[in-house]
Homo-oligomer: A and B are copies of this chain.
């Protein structure tokens, strides 16, 4: 193939719009620019978009990684004006308007959209990451699944009652939606699995501890929903420890307050920080490392650069910062895509971004979820059904929608877990810090 086919005599690819990150925000932006004359490049270091809200189901063996990930090339393959690059961004040359790639290459842009997401924040204790993986990547979800299943297998073989009990103890750190979902799922999965599939374990020996440093679970939700979640979790046997931060995490223990908890599996879900975009741009990061943007989601100092999703510090109409949710990223992506199309094709400006709240939700167990729509709330079985419908609907691809819903329906009826695979080569150490950033 001749080099001309790569885009002309210039050695560096060049595009009207370069989008960093193929998550919800980046993909929505690309789709809004699809099948136009605008030349678009999407850069991601992963080849897939991950449906993170369901990642805890991979960690608890209900779904396979491929069920909740979509190859970026497949999503964007139908748009002939969009190219996809599997590459890692190392910096941005705002003066020359070029993105630097970690292999040394550069990609020039006219307009840049940064949608590189967030990563877990270990608050200065990055060594904990090894023992307490978060739930941001397939690798981490698979690691948690392996540790959880292996702990049960080791407990089955153990003759020592103390060791058995330690191996059957799972500690979940962080009382946000991820922690609540994970604690509920482990408690339900564990009790069912022990009763059905293990001969020398007692369901009563299963212990799930959910630790939250703040005063209550689900602090982003109204207090009555927090109380409901706490009651429900206690009812299915989850031990709650609120108001006490974690002091130490090791290979087989978590220390919280004065207590040392011996454990077989630790999951981290205690807080996120933005991708390092502020550093690339040379701007002062806001809370959580996020980059402050104006009402058009552009940098005030660089109107040709937009930042969206978890990386952006954008404000709602009332001045409050927008939360790090998939629906925010998605709406911002569509907004920026449409705004760029209007700008580049018709040279028109756009009205400021306005977030439309579709409801904030967390699932707690097999029959229970909470929904907060601002003016009204929903909880219990009806909220669970709504949660399931919404999440199936959100899965970007028809096939996945159909298959995942079939699996859910089947598992809801039979309480089976289909993805209980322990890989032959159990990964013992999570991906490096650098690799888990985006």
Contacts and interface: CB of A to CB of B under 8 A. Distances in A.
Contact of A153 (B47, B157, B419): B47
Given A197-B77, A407-B403, A421 B47 contact: yes
A156 interface: yes
- Interface centre among A6, A417, A418, by most chain B C-beta atoms within 10 angstroms, is A418
Contacts of A423: 65, 138-139, 142
B161 A420 contact: no
A28 interface: no
Interface stretch (A199-207, A289-297, A311-319, A356-364): A199-207
A341 B311 CA distance: 64
**Which of A66, A87, A153, A431 has the most C-beta atoms of chain B within 10 angstroms of its own C-beta?**
A66
Interface in A27-48: 46-48
Interface string A58-73: 0000001111010101
Interface string A373-406: 0000000000000000000000000011011001
Contacts of A149: 47
A105 B154 CA distance: 13
Nearest to A73: B197
B138 A424 contact: yes
A420 B153 CA distance: 30
A301 interface: no
A100 interface: no
Given A196-B77, A421-B69, A87 B427 contact: no
17 contacts: A1-B161, A1-B164, A1-B205, A3-B161, A6-B159, A47-B422, A48-B421, A64-B419, A65-B421, A73-B193, A73-B197, A73-B420, A74-B417, A85-B157, A86-B157, A86-B422, A424-B436
Given A47-B153, A71-B421, A425-B430, 7 more contacts: A64-B67, A66-B419, A74-B417, A77-B196, A87-B157, A400-B418, A402-B410
